[in-house]
Chains A and B, each alone.
Chain A
Amino acid sequence: MSTLSATGAASQRRAFARRRAGGPGQAARYAILTVGAAVMLLPFAYMLSTSFKSQAYVLTLPPQFIPHPATVSNYTDAWTSHDFARYFVNSLVVAVCTTALSLLLSSMMAYAFARFAFPGRELLYKVLLLGLMIPAMMLIIPQFVLAKYLGLLDSLTGLVVFYVGGSLPLNTFLLRGFFAAIPGELEQAMLVDGAGAWTRYRRLILPLAKPALATATIFTFLASWDEFAWSLTIINTPSKQTLPLAIALFQGENSTLWGLVFAASVIAVVPVIVVFLLFQRYFVQGLTAGAVKG
């Protein structure tokens, strides 16, 4: 880069600003980003387009990007077969309840880990983190026996309870870091005013941690929405099945109806994207807040 004369910081800052405002560097930047974004989007676009095709046009070469003839029969078939609407509602109820409960419990745990010292704190924390490394499939049989013992089989409650348990390590880990970074003075001030732990937690920590909570919301919601193995295992009544099961049922032994599978997938993806878009502005807050703190 250029060596600087002694004209001073001011002109250097002006040079900085000029570089940022525009020019070929900026254009190249946008070009690369656009290519990258296109690569991210292309599979989705193709999935969307295939969902409007009938089976005969599905794996043709050259691939059809714009379906012709286009049909909405995949969507109507997906929605009307197998009680799809009910699966959708089941998944929604389970995901919302799981997210709410998980946020509550993990934020409480994170507060305890971040703001208090007590014997065995690090040990308990490490035990919690161990939960991150265990493959879930391995636990299914003992969990099934446990669920039977607790009377939770074939129920949406059974889904929620176990989903919450499985989400606690990750959410607590995420939230602890954020809580710990909140300046202590604010809490100290409240303490001086006589506020108890619960009040400090509810009035101070939670509102300040909105970005982290928003992040945890997105992920817990998604994991619950997407979960298949446990739901398949404990749910027997058709009216209680969840959405991933519906998509799996579209894969037949003898043929896979790609159009139907993708139509169902598109319907299934919509709520997650909605949740993401709703909460993603908190990412912005969290990120710019981080920038201001420097």
Chain B
Amino acid sequence: MNRRHGSALALGAAALCASLLGACSSASTPGTSSGPVTLTFWGTYGNGGNKTQTDALNNTIIPAFEKANPDIKIQYVDIPYDSMLQKLTTGAAGGQLPDLVRADLGWVPKLGALGVFAALDEKMSDYKALAAADYPGTVATNLFGGHYYGLPLDTNTRVLISNPDALKAAGIAAPPATFDELKADAPKLAAKKVSAFADSGLQGWNVYPWIWSAGGSVTNADQTKATGYLNSPASVAGVQLLVDLYKSGEIPNLITGDKGATQTSDGLPKGQYANILDGPWMTGIWSGQYPTFKPVYSPVPAGPGGSISVTGGEDIVMTSASAHQDAAEKFIRFTQSATFQLAMAKTGQMSVVQALGDQEAAASPELAPFIKQLATAKPRPSVPQAPQIDTVLQDDLTPAFTGSESVQAALDKAAADIDPLLTETH
């Protein structure tokens, strides 16, 4: 190549780069204070190629809000779930956060305590009224140190989902309704090389339903102590059920963290697993990937404590750094409205507003088992160290399954490790 042409080419490329980059970054200069306000909203709705929720958001919800509020625009950004906490962390460190976040329950006390999320009960005059309309268990997840750092956005819970063909092939008429039925079903399923139950971990989301249904508990009422509760005989019995099934090979090692084992979302439709616990979002996922699979929904198997499941969901929070707090509050109010709640309920994000329960069930009959389970479902401890508590549970309970410790000893250790975490503020 002629050297002169070479330099001209290089200069041209450099100029092109500069203009391209310039064009891209100039588009990001923030709008002036006059003109429409743009709120950035971070969430995980679209993860996993899930289009139903982002479609509802972009096609129904956001247009409705923008129509009612012509001077506010909502920009939704989808973040991979595994990276959301990292992104919030770096954003907090650099003072560069969005206005609104659809935050996992476990993060709200943590980031509220650090001052990243705004205390909504102080900012919004109608907070009490809005909170009163929601299920109490969902509101409690926003509480820390006497203040509420968000409002519930959506809720969900786990129910027992079963593969009817797998059950029938083993001669079982209906999904197990009690602990004893599960124990009785297990050998029949094992004979057909089907796992009686499968779950993907040993964190709170996974084990609390069994502990509560066995009549046990996790902490005392004000969430300051786990010893004496988490390792009570009833709690031990709940975990023992799972350990016994695991040791006789009827629960796969997915539960102890094998990332190579088949996930429940694939194992159930394929008939490898007979029963799993999971939430309402799976219907949408399975209808796309396994169209011939017809799951059966039933309550969590009941033990001496009844059939008690765990609530999950997300809260809507506003960051303290937001420059458009009034506008953000308007959107938060909007999320509590029927338009938002019912549109999302159709995609498996259940409503947190109690009064909408009937409409919800009417519009989406497949949510009925979940709504029923929600009535008795309990929340996980909402403390800043909630993610660490989950890590402790996974680490301390695994030896009980893999055989080197008794369930009592494992729970004793877990309770001892969790006690200090319940009262730490960061």
State the A residues within 8 Å of B (CB).
54-56, 58-59, 77, 81-82, 90, 93, 96-97, 100-101, 104, 140-141, 144-145, 147-148, 153-158, 160, 202-203, 207, 232-233, 236-240, 245, 248-257, 260
Contact = CB atoms under 8 A, between A and B. Distances in A.
A255 B75 CA distance: 26
Given A144-B93, A240-B28, A249-B47, A233 B86 contact: yes
B49 interface: yes
Interface residues of B, number: 53
A54 B27 CA distance: 38
A245 B80 CA distance: 8
B94 interface: yes
A250 B49 contact: yes
A239 B266 CA distance: 32
A246 to B, nearest CB: 10
Contacts of A245: 80
A145 B87 CA distance: 13
B285 A255 contact: yes
A158 B3 CA distance: 31
Nearest to B22: A157
B93 A141 contact: yes
Given A202-B7, A249-B80, A255 B48 contact: yes
B50 A252 contact: yes
B96 interface: yes
A158 B93 CA distance: 17
B95 interface: yes
Given A156-B24, A240-B28, A253-B44, 20 more contacts: A59-B266, A93-B21, A96-B13, A101-B14, A140-B90, A141-B89, A148-B96, A153-B94, A154-B25, A155-B25, A160-B21, A232-B87, A233-B87, A236-B40, A237-B28, A238-B76, A253-B47, A253-B48, A255-B48, A255-B265
B369 interface: no
Interface string B64-83: 00000000000111111111
A240 B25 CA distance: 9
Contact of A156 (B10, B14, B21): B21
Secondary structure at the B interface, as helix, strand, loop or mixed, is helix
Nearest to A206: B6
B334 interface: no
Contacts of A93: 17, 20-21, 24
A203 B1 CA distance: 12
B14 A254 contact: no
A135 B7 CA distance: 36
B169 interface: no
Contact of B265 (A100, A147, A254): A254
A252 B269 contact: no
Given A156-B24, A251-B82, A257-B48, A236 B265 contact: no
B94 A101 contact: no
Contact of A256 (B48, B87, B282): B48
B330 interface: no
B20 A232 contact: no
Contact of A260 (B22, B49, B81, B263): B49
Interface of B: 3, 7, 10, 13-14, 17, 20-22, 24-25, 27-28, 40, 42, 44, 46-51, 75-83, 86-87, 89-90, 93-96, 98, 262-263, 265-266, 269-270, 278-279, 281-282, 285, 289-290
Contacts of B79: 232
Nearest to A235: B77
Given A251-B82, A256-B263, A81 B94 contact: no
Contact of A144 (B7, B51, B94, B269): B94
Nearest to A239: B27
Contacts of A157: 21-22, 24-25
Given A144-B94, A240-B28, A254 B282 contact: yes
Nearest to A148: B94
A232 B266 contact: no
Contacts of B86: 232-233
A53 to B, nearest CB: 11
Given A100-B13, A140-B90, A260-B49, A253 B81 contact: yes
A157 B17 CA distance: 9
